[in-house]
Structure 1
């Protein structure tokens, strides 16, 4: 059986991502790599991260899900919503603009922001199309993979709204599982779940976001013939 390798919330930390793949001896011809979303924002190299994920999906049948930060970048480029713009900048979007646009600085005014958004729309439409096309969940025989979680209010979790797949937190964390399959999720840093950046093993669910872009670590959950192990790469960058 092939190994299943699960990684989430890379957030522009491309060096840590590549180092982690090397550390676990990722073999594209043998391993099943599943990425749980949030490739952009906060970290320094969002553009390179999206390019790398795109290459893995297109050439190696990697499964990549859509996270809330990925959706927010799509919405930023596709719309002119001031609400989206505010949320984008509030949650690490400046680093994404700097990654994609060489002319962006911390002292950016409204006109420069518009230029940056248009620059991405014109020059990186393939990235935006790619992020927009990513599924919200993936399912196999034993697992459900999702960026944020499943809303316990839904008997059939597939019927929950898109927002829940990308944003839900406490309501999911504190609920009893409504599925026999193990739910693998990111979005919530594991330090918020058990005071550690290591992978969190809960009842019927496993959280894997190690908070790499916050100077913590990038985690990988490995399933090999039903046995779960973990690997991680520390990030010494402090996020400033």
Structure 2
């Protein structure tokens, strides 16, 4: 069984489909997606549909990102919707059939709302790793982490989590397309929605697969990436 982590997808269904094809996902694999499935890229609807399929047919463990939080906030009222639209929600809404122009949120099917609200977790923990969207306070247990740290805090050099477990995160986009390896913390948001790559990381073997919206593929190892640079 492999434990595979995937960074921020941001509506890049072409890169995500190519990544799934490249890693040859097996029934026994555990696939952990780190949030920010929507916004910015052109195909948020298709990404959520792929995730729903994986949730029903594979061992998918989906986390929420800050963009899913903003999407859920938008569902609660108009002021939140305006904020979400300005930071990428416009692209998400455009990926759905425009049947109700007065209430575009209603074009998003109930199963997509349910997936984001009920199935996406705040964090996930294994024997050796902690998976979060953004970051962690190194001195607090997971149950006491703030929403700011879990969903919004950018990556910066800090001590490892007191548990001694390696933290795997996304959120802080690496414009050079390279993961950040700090040893105790690894960031795999590699700017799929820009000019970078979508990254999948095997947390046990260290293998790294990357794909992009052009359908290109490259492979490497987490040890290939310096622990010193944060972009």
Q: Please state which band the TM-score falls in when normalised by the shorter chain.
A: 0.7 to 0.9
What is the rounded CA distance, in whole Å, between the counterparts of 1:11 and 1:131 in structure 2? 14
What is the rounded CA distance, in whole Å, between the counterparts of 1:175 and 1:87 in structure 2? 31
Aligned counterpart for 1:228 among listed residues 196, 202, 206? 206
Post-superposition offset of 1:102: 2.9
- Superposed, which structure 2 residues align to 1:22-101 within 5 Å? 22-27=21-26, 29-77=27-75, 79-82=76-79, 84-101=80-97
Corresponding residue of 1:119? 107
Aligned counterpart for 1:198 among listed residues 178, 200, 205? 178
The verdict on how the C-alpha distance between 1:178 and 1:236 changes in structure 2, with shifts beyond 3 A counting, is same
Post-superposition offset of 1:56: 0.8
1:187 partnered with 2:168: no
Corresponding residue of 2:222? none
Corresponding residue of 1:166? 151
Q: Helix, strand or coil: the match of 2:14? A: helix
Q: Helix, strand or coil: the match of 1:92? A: helix
1:91-116 CA distance string (max 9 Å, x none):
11111011113368xxxxxxx4x421
Corresponding residue of 1:156? 141
Report if aligned partners of 2:63, 2:132 keep a CA contact under 8 Å in 1. Answer: yes
Aligned length: 213
Task: Give the TM-score taking structure 2 as reference length.
Answer: 0.85
What is the rounded CA distance, in whole Å, between the counterparts of 2:97 and 2:66 in structure 1? 21
What is the rounded CA distance, in whole Å, between the counterparts of 1:68 and 1:186 in structure 2? 11
Runs of 4 or more above 4 Å deviation: none
1:44-94 CA distance string (max 9 Å, x none):
1111111111121122121111111112112212x1141x22321221111
Q: Which has the higher helix share?
A: 1
Report if aligned partners of 2:8, 2:189 keep a CA contact under 8 Å in 1. Answer: yes
Kindly report the root-mean-square deviation, in angstroms, between the aligned alpha carbons of the 2 structures: 1.9
Give 5+ residue unaligned stretches, structure 2: 216-231
1:175 partnered with 2:158: yes
The verdict on how the C-alpha distance between 1:213 and 1:103 changes in structure 2, with shifts beyond 3 A counting, is farther
Post-superposition offset of 1:236: 4.4
1:144-174 CA distance string (max 9 Å, x none):
001111024x43242012332111114xx22
Task: Give the TM-score taking structure 1 as reference length.
Answer: 0.82
